[in-house]
């Protein structure tokens, strides 16, 4: 049974439903390398990008990992009072966009001060282009405070980059981007 939640975003106040389970490769309860502060990280299972040099090839199969109830993940998150936010990494979170959006909404309903970082191998422009035929992509964009976009590119790899693997990837401030109508990079 999908879970119904009340959403208040740029489309107004409305009811929406989201899947109850996520296929995940794993979680990290308290990470300090997947965004600023202390973060709960959920790694999506399943990714079709197959970036050469990917550090997480075990996350590519769409049949691997474990199916977890979103309610159970939420309970684990609630055991971590010091969190600054949550991060969705991969795998490709946008392949389970509705479920991740549902988790983010439930976290934010409990803790308005916790921010949501979303990694994706798609570019922001690609996500916008296909949001009409994949409306759940818009749903996940709506709850993301920061989007780190684009595939990992081995030739642009650098260990000096904060929160990114390669320099083509951008750290996009989704709130500022939404307000200004152009891509605004975050200062992190």
**Interface residue list for ligand SF4 (CB under 6 A):** 47, 49-51, 54, 56, 59, 90-92, 121, 151-152
**Pick 83 or 91: Cβ nearer ligand SF4:** 91
The nearest distance, CB 37 to ligand SF4, in angstroms, is 22
The nearest distance, CB 171 to ligand SF4, in angstroms, is 15
**Pick 39 or 105: Cβ nearer ligand SF4:** 39
The nearest distance, CB 157 to ligand SF4, in angstroms, is 11
Other beta carbons less than 10 A from residue 142's beta carbon: 16
**Pick 59 or 96: Cβ nearer ligand SF4:** 59
**Pick 40 or 43: Cβ nearer ligand SF4:** 43
Pairwise CA distance, residues 10 & 13, whole Å: 8
Q: How distant is the alpha carbon of residue 178 from its chain centre?
A: 17
The first and second tokens of residue 74, run together, are 């939420």
**Residue at shortest CB range from ligand SF4:** 121
The nearest distance, CB 168 to ligand SF4, in angstroms, is 12
């Amino acid at each position: 049974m999908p879970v119904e939640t009340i959403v208040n975003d740029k489309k107004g106040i409305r009811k929406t439903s989201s899947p109850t389970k996520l296929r995940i490769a794993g979680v990290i309860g308290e990470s300090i390398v997947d965004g600023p502060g202390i973060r709960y990280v959920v790694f999506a299972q399943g990714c079709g990008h197959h970036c050469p040099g990917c550090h997480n090839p075990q996350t590519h199969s769409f049949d691997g990992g474990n199916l977890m109830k979103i309610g159970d993940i939420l309970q684990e998150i609630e055991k971590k009072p010091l969190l600054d936010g949550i991060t969705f990494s991969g795998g490709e979170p946008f392949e389970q966009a509705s479920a991740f959006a549902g988790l983010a909404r439930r976290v934010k309903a409990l803790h308005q001060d916790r921010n949501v970082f979303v990694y994706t191998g798609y570019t922001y422009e690609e996500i916008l282009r296909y949001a009409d035929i994949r409306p759940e992509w818009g749903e996940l964009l709506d709850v993301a405070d920061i989007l780190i976009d684009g595939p990992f590119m081995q030739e642009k790899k650098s260990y000096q980059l904060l929160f990114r693997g390669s320099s083509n990837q951008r750290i996009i401030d989704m709130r500022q981007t939404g307000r200004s109508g152009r891509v605004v990079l975050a200062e992190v």
